[in-house]
Amino acid sequence: MNAPLDVNRRDATLELTLNRPECRNALSQELITRLKDAFHAAEADVDVRSVILTGAPPSFCAGLDLREVAADGAAVHDTTPLLELFETIDRLPKPVLAAVNGPAVAGGAGLVSVCDIVVCGETARIGYPGIHHGLVAPVLMPYLLRLVGERRARHLLLVGDLLTAPQAVAYGLANEVVSDHELLWRVRELATALAQHPPQAVAETKAALRALRDGGGADQAARLRELAGSVRWTDEAKRGMARFLEL
């Protein structure tokens, strides 16, 4: 039996491929655990500068493994592992890029929503169809809401239709669309470019964006001032400014 997660290194990029094509790469508890472990390992490895997340064809991810949920009724009440996975990706100090190579639905759409950059193949579909089956997905809602706003979030969650790749870009769920055969090449190109950036500046940029999103008032302003000061005088920032002044 193949491992549910395929992990590969390409230079400074870690590539994670959901590898359960027989069930459209549905998120079993084992796969969720392996993903969390892989992202923690990526954070700890100084040689990893970017992460790509994709699925074994023909799907990106079908969401939670409902066969597993049905077999263990308690699982439907325990969304903690999935929430922890989303938070792990969201807070990773390194850029995470999604190569959406097919349907990304429910929890799969949630995975897409916590990545920094999302590129869709032309056959990608993204959506939250749980309403058709009487399912509610509160774990996904904060991430969806921040990307598309309440009006569009209501439509996606209550209507439950899947968006085409161009529609996903228009909604703010994805950055761009390329042909299916160009997808992995394009995402690898972006990951390589991001891997060239000074890592602390990347990490602090992501931290500042989280502070703006999650914080508020005086506490938020103080946190942003702290981040700005800490980044400005790092060694990598000094080297970057020196190179700029030599131009």
**pLDDT at residue 233 tops 50:** no
Domain of residue 218, residue span? 199-245
Same domain assignment for residues 188 and 220: no
- Prediction pTM value: 0.87
Q: Which residue has tokens 């500046």?
A: 201
Same domain assignment for residues 235 and 150: no
Encode pLDDT of 45-74 as tens digits. 999 999 999 999 999 999 999 888 777 654
Same domain assignment for residues 173 and 227: no
Same domain assignment for residues 102 and 49: yes
Mean pLDDT value of segment 136-156? 92
How high does pLDDT run on average in the chain?
Answer: 88
Same domain assignment for residues 108 and 183: yes
Contact 21, 56 (CB under 8 A): yes
- Specify the number of domains making up the chain: 2
Same domain assignment for residues 74 and 170: yes
Same domain assignment for residues 119 and 213: no
| Residues 56-83: b if buried by 16+ CB within 10 A, e if exposed | beebbbbbbbbebbeeeeebeeebebbe
Same domain assignment for residues 30 and 150: yes
- CA-CA-CA-CA dihedral for 122, 128, 129, 131, to nearest 10: -160
Encode pLDDT of 86-118 as tens digits. 999 999 999 999 999 999 999 999 999 999 999
Query: Angle 124-126-127 (CA atoms, 0-180°, nearest 5)?
Result: 155
Same domain assignment for residues 187 and 208: no
pLDDT band for position 217 (cuts 50, 70, 90): very low
Which one has a higher pLDDT value, 36 or 134?
A: 36
- Count of CB atoms situated within 10 Å of the CB of 233: 9
Same domain assignment for residues 70 and 128: yes
- Closest among 64, 66, 70 to 140, alpha carbons compared: 64
Same domain assignment for residues 94 and 203: no
Q: What pLDDT score does 122 carry?
A: 97
Please report, for the domain that includes residue 45, its CATH number. Answer: 3.90.226.10
Residue 25, SS3?
coil
State how far the Cα of 60 lies from the Cα of 246, in Å rounded to an integer: 45
